[in-house]
Chain A
């Protein structure tokens, strides 16, 4: 079956522009995570969606970052007024839901801010 997909795979933008990253989770997965991975570093938690509950946005680094999820399907991560330090790989993962520890990761979006 289809895994987690993300688009675009690569995005190059100019400083100050807005970008939108998309994640399509595995069908039926109620939990969805966004992570950021800077070069040579581990993953940083950004945001977590679980079903219809209010998302946990505690990992978002600034108010320039926001994310939405439509029901239990696609999610978009938006970065406004991008800065060079936003350059990273943005990874999305989905999980069957509470009680499951297994997260299935997408291939990531590599964002480069010039």
Chain B
């Protein structure tokens, strides 16, 4: 059974720091992995999607990596800003359409 774990559960850092969020999964037979951002009352927004054949994806200050063999993904945020404060969720897709979700990391960027 696929399980997705995100560490840490919460993180608070000063503005401007680079930071890494971690996601691990137990079954390496995944179709892809996605990182989402969740803002209160606003639903989820997809940030990055990494196909199983890819190693990383970049969008602006965000970089996500994928190591299937070790069952790990990281989301790197460069030069963090207060507007980055949100909960970040990772989800892995199995061969069907279902996503298995981590519990998220709540990130607070202090001005």
Which residues of A line the B interface, CB within 8 A? 4, 9, 31, 40-45, 48, 50, 59, 91, 93, 98, 101-103, 105-108
Contacts and interface: CB of A to CB of B under 8 A. Distances in A.
Contact of A107 (B41, B91, B93): B41
Contacts of A45: 98-99
Interface of B: 4, 9, 32, 34, 41-46, 49, 89, 91, 93, 97-99, 101-104
Q: Which of A9, A31, A45 has the most CB of B within 10 A?
A: A45
Contact of A91 (B43, B91, B93, B102): B43
Given A45-B99, A103-B99, 13 more contacts: A4-B43, A9-B41, A40-B9, A40-B103, A42-B4, A42-B91, A42-B102, A42-B103, A59-B98, A98-B97, A105-B43, A107-B41, A107-B42
Contacts of A105: 43-45
7 contacts: A40-B103, A42-B104, A43-B89, A45-B98, A101-B32, A105-B43, A108-B41
B101 A42 contact: yes
B96 to A, nearest CB: 8
A31 B41 contact: no
Contacts of B46: 102-103
Contacts of A93: 44
Given A43-B99, A91-B44, A107-B41, A101 B89 contact: no
Given A101-B34, A101-B49, A102-B49, A43 B101 contact: yes
Contacts of B102: 42
Interface centre among A31, A42, A91, A106 (most CB of B within 10 A): A42
A41 B43 contact: no
Contacts of A43: 89, 91, 99, 101
